Amino acid sequence: MPHYALTIIGRDRPGIVTEVTEILFKLGCNIADSSSTLLGGQYAMIQIISHPSIDSTEELAAAFAPLEASGLSAFVRRIEPEKLQKQSIGGEIYMISVYGSDKPGIVYRVAKELSERQVNITDLNTKLVGSEARPVYVMMLEAVLPESIDEAELTRVLMALQGELQVDITIRSITPVEL
Amino acid sequence: MAICEILIYPDERLKTVCAPVATLDATVDALIQNLVDTMLASGHSVGVAAPQIGDLRRVAVVDVSRSKLGRDNHHGLLTMINPEIISRSGQKVMREGCMSVPDYTGNVTRSEEIVVEFRDRDGSERVIHATGFEAVAIQHELDHLDGFLFLDRVSSLKTDVFRRKG
């Protein structure tokens, strides 16, 4: 069955989910996986959808084109079947919190240290909080450690970064216990 | 004996209150062996309860000795027939995963220390004091005997239940 990634974004207001899912329902699409949230006043939806017969990105995208008139941008991307298989994400899972006074490069520097060690980020949220005069940047991410790096090494790496960036970083295991 | 298929929710047998074992016969021993074989075969599991393999009797096995969290504090392989928690204290929150609810994990608050009474595989009466991860694992498996899943124990869907990523 052809699968597609559908991204919708637009200024938030009541009714966006209804408008989008009405199109999906009438087309006969199935929502396999989705996440939607409000970011800076924009409502952003990301969905993995499938359809038993529509086998053309253009045909599917055309169905969402009318959303433009109500201020929503839609983007459709086909997912090749061989890339659809869920990869099993093995390894210890950690929650990493980073916060401190806002400055350029916090996300990039943390992500770079992680990717250089093949640590896979599986969830990431950032927010600017605090006052206008003293903005505070908060980032929370979930990451899966490969076997080549353990908690002690991850802590060492991030503590070095903590000193360099002058932010606070905490790490805690959130690996579920398998019962 | 046999590695059994683990039932997955919404199989209604997982939501059934199991019946006490009346007499220790060969079928109970066979059930225990199947539970142990199934637990060992899954690799990462530290316990299996009878309803998870479709047998609605009050029998469960737990062994946390092979896991990182339990290896320093355990009673080895526990084969429990008609187990009852007769005393509990303290609180401990762990993010639990269950083979019968494969797509989700959840933060569950359980007793930190428990005293469990049960009949062992050889028929002897045992009472053990379990703490930490072993206590959590026992409570999780014994919940299965009453038709409870960890989803029945979380306090909030929004903050305590997590979808496994993949």
DSSP code of residue B57: B
**Backbone torsions φ then ψ of B76, nearest 5 degrees:** 70, -150
pLDDT at B158 over 90: no
Q: Which B residues in the span 4-43 are in contact with A, Cβ-Cβ below 8 Å?
A: none
Instruction: Report d(CA A60, CA B161) in Å as an integer.
Output: 33
Report the CATH superfamily, name and number, of domain A3-83. ACT domain (3.30.70.260)
pLDDT digits (tens, 9 = 90+) for B29-66: 999 999 999 999 998 899 999 999 999 999 999 999 99
pLDDT digits (tens, 9 = 90+) for B116-141: 999 999 999 999 999 999 999 999 99
What is the pLDDT, as a whole number, of residue A65?
95
pLDDT digits (tens, 9 = 90+) for A2-20: 899 999 999 999 999 999 9
CATH topology (fold) of B12-163 = Peptide Deformylase (3.90.45)
One-character DSSP codes across A53-116: S---HHHHHHHHGGGGGGTEEEEEEEE-GGGTSPPP--S-EEEEEEEEE--TTHHHHHHHHHHH
pLDDT digits (tens, 9 = 90+) for A49-68: 999 999 999 999 999 999 99
Lowest-pLDDT range of A130-139, B2-11, B118-127: A130-139
Choice between A1 and B76, residue whose per-residue pLDDT is larger: B76
Nearest by Cα to B153 from A179, A91, A142: A179
Place of tokens 């239940």: B161
pLDDT band at residue A137 using 50, 70 and 90 as cut-offs: very high
Check CB contact under 8 Å for B69 and A177: yes
Q: Is B137 on the interface with A (CB under 8 A)?
A: yes
Selecting from A87, A89, A179 the residue whose C-beta is nearest the C-beta of B46 gives A179
**Backbone torsions φ then ψ of A104, nearest 5 degrees:** -65, 140
Give me the interface pTM, i.e. the ipTM: 0.79
pLDDT band at residue A178 using 50, 70 and 90 as cut-offs: confident
Structure tokens at B49: 């309860």
Instruction: Report d(CA B65, CA B72) in Å as an integer.
Output: 7
**For chain A, domain boundaries:** 3-83, 93-173
Instruction: Write down the pTM of the prediction.
Output: 0.77
Q: Is A39 on the interface with B (CB under 8 A)?
A: no
Selecting from B95, B99, B141 the residue whose C-beta is nearest the C-beta of A177 gives B95
Structure tokens at A72: 């929503």
Closest Cα of chain A to B106: distance in Å?
8
Q: Which of B48, B71, B95, B107 to mutate to test the interface with A (most CBs of A within 10 A)?
A: B95
Nearest by Cα to B77 from B65, B90, B94: B65
Selecting from B98, B165, B166 the residue whose C-beta is nearest the C-beta of A179 gives B98
Check CB contact under 8 Å for A177 and B47: no
pLDDT at A113 over 70: yes
Instruction: Report d(CA B30, CA B93) in Å as an integer.
Output: 34
Terminal alpha carbon distance of chain B: 33
Closest Cα of chain B to A173: distance in Å?
10
Residue B30's CB is within 10 A of a number of other CB atoms, namely: 13
CATH 3.30.1330.80 correct for A93-173: no
